[in-house]
Structure 1
């Protein structure tokens, strides 16, 4: 039986609480950067406001940071379920509570689940060449290559001390525009590090 396109495309899942602010911002920003490489990016919430759009400030900031207006406007919140976690090659949560929730739901996802800022922090200890070498060792399958670099990033855990709260992206829901901007300023640099590592795996 022939595999469908979604089965062979590397998949990144972003996760927050309501799936209307942080995780869809991460989703549409990563999609803008990585979809040209064949990566599928989607998002869900642990307590999603199902079918709701992204909040207006989240949409505006996502577009300012490089997402397409269509992708930002088209988003509808979804509830996180087991198959999404099992299918994802890299799971990026917005805070430690979401990481814990995901791993409790699917323990086998532990080594490919990070908060997005944790991933970025750990990735800074992994050179692009080392990431590419990890991918090369996994062979030609794009999904296996992304999983291999996720495992290489996991291997950086414990290499440097960090304040745990610095691994979270602040939740801006129902808060000021300034809080949205703070949240986006924490998210955007982490997205760049994710792009670097995934790009190394696939190019």
Structure 2
């Protein structure tokens, strides 16, 4: 039986070999540095290349950010994966719509990763109080609702700024674009986690 004392995060893209694995492994590495064993980050694809490893250019990006690229097999997104997930971070607004269509109950805890990062920046500016020492997991489970409450203050000037472009099968410049769009969001989430985590005693 899975432990209830873990914050479960799911990242979602299309094939689950490029964008969402980069988000998964980079976030996991960063959040492990905040509080090891508290966060579990996994990924899946809406049209996954099931069983495939992480695409090699993306594996290199993961390693740049301190993550592990090995031991990965792409997974098809299922309703069961959404149940019990505390936070769903999609790579595009279209992916978010597909997730919500699959399970409407996740509406208030599903975001594109770039919009969620902007919301955390707003939350941090409005309330700098750290998470309670005794219930970091519970505090993170309420975070999606608090983030949604400031969505109107974190709107993108261009809807495309919510999305991370798919580089699969394209030139090296496309992978650089993906990194340029995705990495700041990952780093913003990890930075927020560091700044709000209570000091361990």
With the shorter chain as reference, the TM-score category is 0.7 to 0.9
Q: TM-score, normalised by structure 1?
A: 0.87
Aligned alpha-carbon RMSD (Å): 2.0
Q: Which residue of structure 2 aligns with residue 50 of structure 1?
A: 50
Residue 145 of structure 1, aligned match among 124, 130, 139:
139
SS of residue in 1 equivalent to 2:21: helix
- Structure 1 residue 164 displacement after superposition: 1.0
Match of 2:11 among 10, 14, 38: 14
Corresponding residue of 2:187:
192
Partner of 1:35: 32
1:62 offset after TM fit, Å? 1.3
Q: Secondary structure at the match of 2:182?
A: helix
- Aligned partners of 2:9 and 2:88 also within 8 Å: yes
1:201: Cα distance to partner?
5.4
Q: TM-score, normalised by structure 2?
A: 0.88
Answer 1 or 2: which has greater helix percent.
1
Give the C-alpha shift of residue 90 in structure 1.
0.9
User: Which residue is equivalent to 1:59?
Assistant: 59
Measured after TM superposition, the shift of residue 141 of structure 1 is 4.1
Contact 2:122-2:150 at 8 Å conserved across structures: yes
Flag as ranges the 4+ runs of structure 1 deviating above 6 A. Answer: none
Which blocks of at least 5 consecutive residues in structure 2 are unaligned? none
Residue 22 of structure 2: aligned partner: 25
Structure 1 pair 89–110 and aligned structure 2 pair: CA distance change class (3 A): same
Matches within 5 A, 1:86-165: 86-127=83-124, 130=127, 132=129, 135-136=131-132, 140-162=134-156, 163-165=158-160
